Amino acid sequence: MAQKKSFITFLTSAFYNDYPLSKYPQIEQKIDRPYAQVIVTIRNLHFAIPLRSNITHPHAFWTDRKNRCGVDFSKAVVILDETKYINDSTKVFLRLHEYDKLRGKEFRITQMMSDFIETYKSARLNPADEINQKICRFSTLQYFEEYIYQSGGLAIQETATTTE
């Protein structure tokens, strides 16, 4: 029986080696403390969405609104090779109140990520707008456009992931 992937995980060093900060400056990277990632699947594309603090925009699923912590959709990356890029060997530990906010919210987070992809696509169509410029400049989706446009409408697909 195949083991189910975790809903919350880390990315491997292979991912960061293949997507170096020098070439992909909007991808969140910390050498000393990796970002925990929420994994969702939309139209057969796997997205890793980092859990961050000090988020200064509305494109997030808030786990601690007061401290501006949450799942940051603007920094999501496409995972093209789950085996190579998802670290299933290291257990993720979250603050209990943030874990409680995430538990059972896989479908809602997937919906919100799908909505953000559509927001990004709309922003690309109207780059003269200042807000759209920021969305396009700071979103990591700019590095994965060929995949998000190939996948069509990006309708929500329920995932087989579970929270442990």
Q: Note the pLDDT of residue 42.
A: 94
Q: Which residues contact 82 (CB under 8 A, 6 or more apart)?
A: 5, 46
Contact 41, 159 (CB under 8 A): yes
Q: What is the pTM of this model?
A: 0.86
Q: Note the pLDDT of residue 1.
A: 35
Q: Residue 40: what are its φ and ψ, rounded to 5°?
A: -135, 155
Instruction: Average the pLDDT over 36-65 and give the result.
Output: 95
Q: Note the pLDDT of residue 93.
A: 86
Going by C-alpha positions, the residue among 122, 151, 163, 164 that lies closest to residue 139 is 122
pLDDT digits 0-9 by tens, 67-105:
999 999 999 999 999 999 999 888 888 989 999 999 999
pLDDT digits 0-9 by tens, 99-130:
999 999 999 999 999 999 999 999 999 999 99
Contact 149, 45 (CB under 8 A): no
Which domains does the chain show, CATH number per domain? 8-150 (3.10.129)
Instruction: Average the pLDDT over 133-158 and give the result.
Output: 80
Q: Note the pLDDT of residue 32.
A: 67
pLDDT digits 0-9 by tens, 2-40:
444 568 999 999 999 999 999 999 999 876 678 899 999
- pLDDT classification of 142: cutoffs 50, 70, 90: very high
Residue 159 has pLDDT above 60, yes or no: no
Q: Note the pLDDT of residue 34.
A: 80
